[in-house]
Structure 1
């Protein structure tokens, strides 16, 4: 009697590689964030227009997630993930050679559209993990994504100070090529989970949203969280580059390291899901978000209080994000790439709105307007959490 081939699993080494690759991929979206003033000066654009560099990238990313990530359920991901990284590398080279502000905006939109490798790896990690450790594995990979978002600001600040802002995009292109090769060698050769025509595949993303109440509830909370996260970090660049701080881009980038502490702490959030604490821990996180914006509002002229606000916000938002994503993956084992599509597209559409809102609020009332609006939106999310959890939230375990 022939033995059935063993199911591929994910060990610590592969989990770490997924986390690094996912973080590097999503970091491509944020290289420009601490460099907005520098890029605007170099390419002859205003500070207000510079905010569109982040917004356009996020809109492109949302579109890329919607159109590309569902393919993870119907294609061999050992080929799909490296191909996505190589395509992103081409777009990054276009950013590095951009001759004008308009060209750079278009190139960054293309970066957003193509740099979806990290969001293909997250559901793949969920597929390779067991039911008992799925929260921990997904938490590690998602923590890598969030760490990439934060470290990208620090790295881009230092590299831009030393070699100019274009060098960061050239270096990121090389890194994507290296990671594409490593992942092609490391990802198990899995058969596609389903055979669905492309139009039906995209349509099924919306079907699962309509069908599952827990998905809709989670998407609203996740979207508000990501909008607040993006709004805060976009406005923080304006705060730190002006009076009374007047910090150079290398110093502004260092503030990303503060958030990195939050990413490391939030890595444990996936274990809370495995222990059955997903919903309750999310509520605690939202209360902490409200507190973080209040601290930021009263501490806009104190670097110590700004750092405290960053730390509180990042621990809370990143923990909530990991819990949200793991809860989504528990809905269906056969459609994790499509669930991730809904989750990340939703987040980045809200995130693009957060970038626009930060620019508008900054022009209207500066840091005070941004932080008070943030505290108000966080309070709204807390109310949504309170009322949403009272209904039947049945989250399958696989």
Structure 2
């Protein structure tokens, strides 16, 4: 895989992920333009997220049934058409419906990952996963600024129309650039593909392990970002809601860190990267707790703590996906579905628990929840590594070795 082609795939991830977030900055202007309340206009954002969750479960497994070039081209074209309809929507019902369709089809990043893993040698999967993660992070962070700036200058419809043009252009480029490769499960019934992720979770210990790490850490991550808005707008700081958006920009540093984590994963294996990231997540809970002090010292703690948490979560995800992609070359899309579903459920639970932890114990309660999530994942990780080292099959438990294959499943039983 050439570096130019890898950058094209990273750009595709950025554009697809950006579709999930840029509408958040348009809500007030869209509400004004459509003559509805701001609360009603947020339904478009909610519909996009719900559609994305459904797309990961319903569409990503098709990556094992259809050639990636055809699937990606169709998904990007459908996303472009959905964005076009949203940009031309005459009223809120059409906008909400189109937004759900955009979320449903914006799963290109989940399709690109398995595609890229199959195009490189096992010793480069971490590097490639890190680059794709960097692209996705950039799309998430920059899309809000992109959407807000265009909307302020030319109206709320403009970002949708520009995004539609970008997706259709990417579809045309990828149709010419992607290699033609047969699908590993061509002709497999769709119903069987949908049932496969649950079976894989039962039969693949290393998939369960990676999914547990990501679900718990993402739960703590979501709890923090739910609680930090309440903290910043509360009496300790008295800031407006946009302050949380500015704080989120510190996560841009992860665009540099994830490729480095990928290279380290290739050299030393995912277990070492997971260990460092879980310890970093636990340390971030301690740093973030000082945010309750308020003032300059508290804000500094929030900046450092959220940066540490962002880096730990995203770099840990690179290690987890590298481990998952090494399990079965014939089922990478279905493995991705199982992994992403677990991560999404963990994040949703974390948001719910974070709001309740803040209501019950304030910001220290949110930090305690983050520490509990990190400790649970760390305990699971240490137990798995100990079994690999002392168990009778430790020699074959190659999950932490670069380029580990299906035999890695036996090590964590």
Provide closer, same or farther for how the CA distance between residues 246 and 124 of structure 1 changes in structure 2, counting only shifts above 3 A. Answer: same
CA contact (8 A) 1:226 1:350 kept: yes
CA contact (8 A) 1:266 1:316 kept: no
Q: CA deviation at 1:157?
A: 4.3
Q: What are the residue-to-residue correspondences of 1:69-218 with 2, within 5 Å? A: 69-96=60-87, 106-163=97-154, 165-195=156-186, 196-218=188-210
Aligned to 2:266: 274
Structure 1 gap ranges (5+): 1-9
Q: CA deviation at 1:349?
A: 2.5
Q: CA deviation at 1:75?
A: 0.9
In the alignment, the residues of structure 1 paired with residue 338 and residue 124 of structure 2 have an alpha-carbon distance, to the nearest angstrom, of 23
What do the CA deviations read for 1:323-370 (whole angstroms, capped 9, x no partner)?
A: 000100010111111111111222222223333344444555654443
In the alignment, the residues of structure 2 paired with residue 238 and residue 29 of structure 1 have an alpha-carbon distance, to the nearest angstrom, of 23
Provide closer, same or farther for how the CA distance between residues 307 and 93 of structure 1 changes in structure 2, counting only shifts above 3 A. Answer: farther
Provide closer, same or farther for how the CA distance between residues 366 and 172 of structure 1 changes in structure 2, counting only shifts above 3 A. Answer: farther
Aligned to 1:5: none
What do the CA deviations read for 1:127-158 (whole angstroms, capped 9, x no partner)?
A: 11112212212221122223322333443444
Q: CA deviation at 1:215?
A: 0.9
In the alignment, the residues of structure 2 paired with residue 220 and residue 230 of structure 1 have an alpha-carbon distance, to the nearest angstrom, of 15
Q: Is the radius of gyration larger for structure 1 or structure 2?
A: 2
Provide closer, same or farther for how the CA distance between residues 45 and 187 of structure 1 changes in structure 2, counting only shifts above 3 A. Answer: same
Aligned to 2:382: 386
1:267 is paired with a residue whose SS is helix
Provide closer, same or farther for how the CA distance between residues 17 and 242 of structure 1 changes in structure 2, counting only shifts above 3 A. Answer: farther
1:132 is paired with a residue whose SS is helix
In the alignment, the residues of structure 1 paired with residue 185 and residue 282 of structure 2 have an alpha-carbon distance, to the nearest angstrom, of 42
In the alignment, the residues of structure 2 paired with residue 179 and residue 391 of structure 1 have an alpha-carbon distance, to the nearest angstrom, of 46
In the alignment, the residues of structure 1 paired with residue 234 and residue 31 of structure 2 have an alpha-carbon distance, to the nearest angstrom, of 15
Q: CA deviation at 1:116?
A: 0.8
Between stretches 318-327 and 340-349, larger displacement belongs to 340-349
Structure 2 gap ranges (5+): 389-396, 406-413
In the alignment, the residues of structure 1 paired with residue 65 and residue 312 of structure 2 have an alpha-carbon distance, to the nearest angstrom, of 34
Q: CA deviation at 1:34?
A: 5.8
Q: CA deviation at 1:27?
A: 2.0
What do the CA deviations read for 1:13-51 (whole angstroms, capped 9, x no partner)?
A: 01001011112101222224566777789842559x95x
Root-mean-square deviation (CA, aligned residues, Å) is: 3.1
Q: What are the residue-to-residue correspondences of 1:51-62 with 2, within 5 Å? A: 56-62=47-53
Q: CA deviation at 1:242?
A: 6.2
| TM-score after normalising by structure 2 | 0.82
In the alignment, the residues of structure 2 paired with residue 173 and residue 364 of structure 1 have an alpha-carbon distance, to the nearest angstrom, of 44
In the alignment, the residues of structure 2 paired with residue 241 and residue 369 of structure 1 have an alpha-carbon distance, to the nearest angstrom, of 17
CA contact (8 A) 1:119 1:340 kept: yes
CA contact (8 A) 2:21 2:144 kept: yes
In the alignment, the residues of structure 1 paired with residue 358 and residue 223 of structure 2 have an alpha-carbon distance, to the nearest angstrom, of 10
Q: CA deviation at 1:321?
A: 0.3
Provide closer, same or farther for how the CA distance between residues 133 and 347 of structure 1 changes in structure 2, counting only shifts above 3 A. Answer: same
Q: CA deviation at 1:124?
A: 0.5
**314, 318, 321: which one aligns with 1:318:** 314
In the alignment, the residues of structure 2 paired with residue 205 and residue 78 of structure 1 have an alpha-carbon distance, to the nearest angstrom, of 22
Divergent runs of 4+, >6 A: 35-42, 99-103
| TM-score after normalising by structure 1 | 0.85
Does 2:345 correspond to 1:353? Answer: no
Does 2:320 correspond to 1:332? Answer: no
Provide closer, same or farther for how the CA distance between residues 232 and 199 of structure 1 changes in structure 2, counting only shifts above 3 A. Answer: same
Between stretches 296-305 and 33-42, larger displacement belongs to 33-42
Aligned to 2:392: none
Kindly tell me the number of residue pairs found equivalent between the two proteins.
386
**2, 21, 27: which one aligns with 2:18:** 27
Q: CA deviation at 1:272?
A: 2.1
Question: Per chain length, whose mean CA-contact separation is higher, i.e. which structure has more relative contact order (CA < 8 Å, sep 6+)?
Answer: 1
Provide closer, same or farther for how the CA distance between residues 294 and 164 of structure 1 changes in structure 2, counting only shifts above 3 A. Answer: farther
**234, 239, 247: which one aligns with 1:246:** 239
Provide closer, same or farther for how the CA distance between residues 176 and 314 of structure 1 changes in structure 2, counting only shifts above 3 A. Answer: same
CA contact (8 A) 2:227 2:363 kept: yes
Does 2:385 correspond to 1:374? Answer: no
Provide closer, same or farther for how the CA distance between residues 216 and 55 of structure 1 changes in structure 2, counting only shifts above 3 A. Answer: farther
2:14 is paired with a residue whose SS is helix
In the alignment, the residues of structure 2 paired with residue 305 and residue 248 of structure 1 have an alpha-carbon distance, to the nearest angstrom, of 19
Provide closer, same or farther for how the CA distance between residues 388 and 153 of structure 1 changes in structure 2, counting only shifts above 3 A. Answer: farther
